[in-house]
Chain A
Amino acid sequence: MNEHGTEHGDELADQGSAGFGSTAVRLDQGHIEGTGHLPVRFENPGMPPHIPRAADLDELAAKRAEKQVAAFFGISMLGTLVFLVAYFAIPMEAQVFLPGIGKANVSNIVLGVSLALGMLGIGIGAVHWAKTLMPDTEVVEERHPLRSGDEARRGFVSTVLNGGTDAQLDRRPLIKYSLGGALGLFALPMVLQVAGSLGPLPEDGLSKTPWKKGDRLVRDPEHTPIKATDVTLGSVFHVLPESIKDSKHVLEDKAKAAVLLMRLEPEIIQVAKERDWGYEGIVAYSKICTHVGCPVGLYEQQTHHLLCPCHQSTFDVTQDCKVIFGPAKRPLPQLKITVDDEGYLVADAPFREAVGPSFWERG
């Protein structure tokens, strides 16, 4: 294609016309203008002839348009009236089955549709009116360069400079620099106030969870303790520490302490530590994804994979919950568990590492 362009240019250059597209332009140049008996470029033919509309020529068509516009406005009034009546007349809990939509709230549908009719009637009517009856001869408005005249620009610059001179800025550097310093600093108190008071320092809040040695594992949300014998093969329990019932910050503690409890055949567990930290094939892992913290809620019984529904990180429970797919990097932290004297599952130690998403000081 480029070769074609060049060919053109050469041929045209023969004719004494400018070589359009034939020569590159110097960096400091604009477009090449040509000379010759033909203009280099086509000229703008000006506005095309105006084509009148039916309503411009035929009074009957105009009358028809008038009636159509009025009909749309009429529909609008009707819609508004329906809304006003429906607001009082339709009970809020009434349901109706609509094909393609399903069970729907009658009040919502009638109010919304009538509101829409009220709006659309005005809108379509007005646009139809503009298109059929209002002037459709295009108007030409001239543009003027946005730039101010040289005089005005010089005037502006000298006003600014004179202002500085009149204020003796150039003669009194002490004022200039001290003002610069003051203006540079004055916002700091406001910034400090808002930034400093937004919240407490994290300290070890991200690294510690409420789990402690001896804390019973209880079902979420029933808060009942779990016997090791209750945990059958293939089952999964959503678990919280028993101590959470005394917590003053239930949601905050839950966001860190949520744990999944699963029972596997001990022989398919491939990591010795995982087996040791569990109890007869029962293992407990943090439910908080190490990616951005969604609950890793989906357990595949057959493959022993845990899947996070937010970004699809997949953890293999037989391999100490190592990441086998997805954007997470770290395995889910394991909670070391054992049983107490009554046969209930308890934590044998707090989490060894921080649960949840990574952060800088995690180490």
Chain B
Amino acid sequence: MSTAGHTASGAGRLRANDPKPEAPVSPGLKAVGGVAGWVDERTGAAKGVGYLMKKVFPDHWSFMLGEVAMYSMVICLLTGAFLTFWFVPSAGQVSYDGSYIPLRGMMMSEAYASTLDISFDIRGGLIIRQIHHWAALLFIVAISVHMLRVFFTGAFRKPREINWLIGAQLSMLALVEGFAGYSLPDDLLSGTGLRAAEGFMRSIPVIGSYVSYFVFNGPFPGESIIPRLYAVHVLLLPAILVGLFTAHIVLVALQKHTQFPGPGRTNENVVGYPVMPVYAAKAGGFFFIVFGVVALMSALVTINPIWAYGPYDPSPVTAGAQPDWYMGFADGALRLLPGFLEFEAFGFTFSFNVMIGAILLIPVMYGLLSLYPFLEQWVTGDKREHHLLDRPRNNPTRTALGMGAMTIYGVLMFAAGNDIMAIKLGLSINDITHFLRAAFFIAPPIVYWVTKRICLSLQRRDRDLVLHGRETGRIIRTAEGRFYEQHEPLDPYTRWNLVQHEQHQPLQLTAGTDEHGVAAPHARRERVRAKVSHFYFNDRVEPVTPAELEAAHHDGHHVEEIEQQEPGGAPLVEVAPSGSAESPDAAARHRH
């Protein structure tokens, strides 16, 4: 019983200076207050929870990507818990006697047999299994796209570097978690994947064969790998994932979500909707939407039909062996790496053709990814907090670097499908592989360059729009017979989106002299830093300043006067002197 209720129901006032009885509360408030009061008296949670419920989140579709990842993780945890009730993580051989007739009487591991049972003999088992697999694939898709959003909008900048690192770890562990789960059913395809994984381990210099024997508890395949992967998949990694995820989300709440720039949005505020009631409904509802979409996919699209592959046997293999999509880039790297990278020296075998793609690629990729915020901070020397996101075009070099990196990933991903492409397109697999080997080196710089040019052009277009407004398509003829197209200036709110950003300037080494006038030699580090800064920010388009807009107005003044005379015409501020193709700079030059 809450204290408020007690006072309200008290026996009225005994003394004149007693507090007046409070106004009667509504039944709803009383009910909520009753339960909440019971908890609050024992925890003091009302203040904190009340604060969280009033917390403001900014609105943007791209902020839902992280949500999709979060919800698919929850779906995986839920359906995964269900699956543990029927799955038997054992490599012990049994004779199958379930309802899937083609495999009846065959010897197979208990893991495979129980996965068949989930698919054919347990009511609703197949839908749960398919939801689990689809949600896992969606989990990694969502993490990846969320990470790209964070990268291209610069959300990783101070103070969010820690969360970027946590996110990178989450993403990498999600790959391992996915691979572990994919291997559990012990079907022919996943077993072949484990066979390859054993080959990867062997390629590690010095300790490779020991790693292989330790992981598999003896020669491949052994009977230990399934139960071991099971422990990793259902206990170890989920615990780490959930722990890291909790830290990730707590940091988001603590640091408050970033927001896109816009009128009224500053680096010192968050503009959006409160959790209660808007985000409770939107985000809560979104969980059901994600679950619903995954359920729909699982109902209509078969994923990983293990019954079609048969139980694992080291001897047979199916053509077109493909891993789940998220391992595609690593598999593609293995297909592209040339054999000459393996050699013998000092009586030992160095198998770099395998090791680079299978052992080094993923840690190196995530290592570079993790370092990026620190690299950029070093280049810009920017130690301020950033809560406003960048529009990707406004940081052309970062955007172009990101696109270049995605191109590398894309080439590797395509390489994983070189056999499928060869069959479906009727091309030579050798040609495809040679082409992709070349593309690995050639495509990223091209994509980098094109992206950067596109960004700069988009920025120039923004400038043009601010300086000259929108083309209305209305043509005005002057008394002398000259024609002008009427341009409508941007309203200040729209304009703000295009002029709000800051452009970094390249850092330059100054003629360094100490207080005695003696030339101070620059540290090598600083010279490198100046070079990198030049690489980043030498090509840049500055946002329009008020002075430039004023100059553009001044330039178009005589036209405006004519337009002002037009009956019913909106008061016009500015007009491009000769069409829209004019560069923004021309306007500034004209006024002299």
Contact = CB atoms under 8 A, between A and B. Distances in A.
Interface of A: 1-2, 4-5, 7-8, 11-12, 15, 17, 20-21, 23-28, 30-32, 36, 38-42, 44-48, 87, 92-93, 101, 104-105, 107-113, 115-127, 129-131, 134-136, 138-143, 145-146, 195, 198-202, 205-206, 220-221, 238, 240, 249, 251-252, 254-256, 258, 287-288, 291-295, 297-298, 309-313, 323, 325-330, 356-363
**Most chain A CB within a 10 A radius of its CB, from B212, B289, B430, B539:** B289
Contacts of B320: 309
A309 B99 contact: no
Interface of B: 55-56, 99, 120-121, 123-124, 126-127, 130-131, 159, 192, 195-196, 198-200, 202-210, 212-222, 224, 254-256, 263-274, 277-278, 281-282, 284-293, 295-296, 298-302, 312-321, 331, 334-344, 347-349, 351, 353-354, 358, 381, 385, 387, 418-419, 429-430, 433, 456, 460, 492-493, 495-496, 499-500, 502-503, 505-510, 526, 529-530, 538-548, 550-551, 583, 585, 588-589
Contacts of A295: 192, 314-317
A40 B272 contact: no
Contact of B285 (A126, A200, A327): A126
B387 A143 contact: yes
A309 B335 CA distance: 11
A93 B99 contact: yes
14 contacts: A2-B538, A2-B539, A5-B542, A93-B99, A112-B295, A115-B295, A118-B292, A138-B273, A139-B273, A143-B268, A291-B199, A292-B199, A328-B339, A358-B203
Nearest to A47: B264
A105 B433 CA distance: 39
A285 B215 CA distance: 28
Contacts of B205: 360
B199 A357 contact: yes
Given A123-B288, A126-B288, A287-B315, A252 B282 contact: no
A327 B353 contact: yes
Given A48-B493, A309-B419, A327-B353, A119 B289 contact: yes
Contact of B335 (A28, A255, A312): A312
Nearest to B319: A309
Nearest to B584: A4
A294 B269 contact: no
Contact of B121 (A92, A115, A201): A92
A266 to B, nearest CB: 27
Nearest to A101: B300
A87 B292 CA distance: 18
A92 B269 CA distance: 56
B124 A27 contact: no
Contact of A357 (B203, B255, B588): B203
B496 A329 contact: no
A359 to B, nearest CB: 4
Given A119-B295, A255-B219, A255-B220, 11 more contacts: A1-B456, A4-B585, A5-B541, A44-B500, A108-B299, A113-B295, A127-B281, A138-B273, A199-B213, A359-B202, A360-B348
B349 A362 contact: yes
Contact of A294 (B291, B321, B338, B544): B321
Contact of A108 (B126, B207, B338, B540): B126
**Which 8 pairs, one residue from A and one from B, show the smallest C-beta to C-beta distance?**
A112-B299, A292-B199, A126-B285, A123-B288, A119-B292, A120-B292, A47-B264, A123-B289
A143 B55 CA distance: 11
Contacts of B493: 45, 48
A361 to B, nearest CB: 6
B505 A31 contact: yes
A115 B335 contact: no
B220 A297 contact: no
A252 B456 contact: no
A39 B273 CA distance: 32
Contact of A115 (B127, B208, B282, B347): B127
Contacts of A126: 281-282, 284-285, 288
Given A26-B508, A109-B300, A252 B274 contact: no
A272 B203 CA distance: 31
A28 B320 CA distance: 57
A99 to B, nearest CB: 12
A311 B320 CA distance: 10
B379 to A, nearest CB: 11
A260 to B, nearest CB: 10
A147 B458 CA distance: 36
A109 B301 CA distance: 9
A143 B295 CA distance: 39
Contacts of B315: 220-221, 238, 240, 254, 258, 287, 295
B585 A199 contact: no
Contacts of B123: 87, 92, 107
B349 A360 contact: yes
Given A45-B493, A198-B214, A297-B319, A360 B353 contact: no
B348 A200 contact: no
B209 A120 contact: no
Given A25-B507, A255-B221, A293-B195, A46 B210 contact: no
A116 B299 contact: yes
Contacts of A92: 99, 120-121, 123
A206 B217 CA distance: 13
Contact of A1 (B192, B341, B539): B539
Contacts of A116: 292-293, 295-296, 299
B286 to A, nearest CB: 6
Contacts of A127: 281-282, 285-286, 289
A359 B207 CA distance: 9
A46 B492 CA distance: 9
Given A7-B585, A24-B507, A199-B218, A358 B354 contact: yes
Given A5-B542, A117-B292, A326-B339, A11 B588 contact: yes
Nearest to A108: B126
Contacts of A359: 202-203, 208-209, 212, 349, 351
A205 B335 CA distance: 27
A211 to B, nearest CB: 14
A136 B290 CA distance: 23
A48 B265 CA distance: 10
Nearest to B586: A4
Contacts of A297: 316-317, 319
B385 A145 contact: yes
A329 B264 contact: no
Contacts of A121: 288, 292
Contact of A309 (B281, B317, B548): B317
A201 B217 CA distance: 9
B58 to A, nearest CB: 9
Given A24-B507, A44-B263, A310-B321, A198 B348 contact: no
A118 B91 CA distance: 38
Contacts of A206: 202, 209, 212, 219
B285 A125 contact: yes
Nearest to B206: A360
B184 to A, nearest CB: 17
B470 to A, nearest CB: 17
Contacts of A28: 510
A119 B212 contact: no
A329 B342 contact: yes
A143 B401 CA distance: 31
Contact of B313 (A26, A251, A288, A311): A251
Contact of A202 (B209, B278, B282, B540): B209
Given A27-B510, A45-B263, A108-B127, A330 B295 contact: no
A21 B543 CA distance: 10
B273 A24 contact: no
Contacts of B543: 41-42
B546 A146 contact: no
A202 B214 CA distance: 9
Given A8-B542, A112-B295, A358 B202 contact: yes
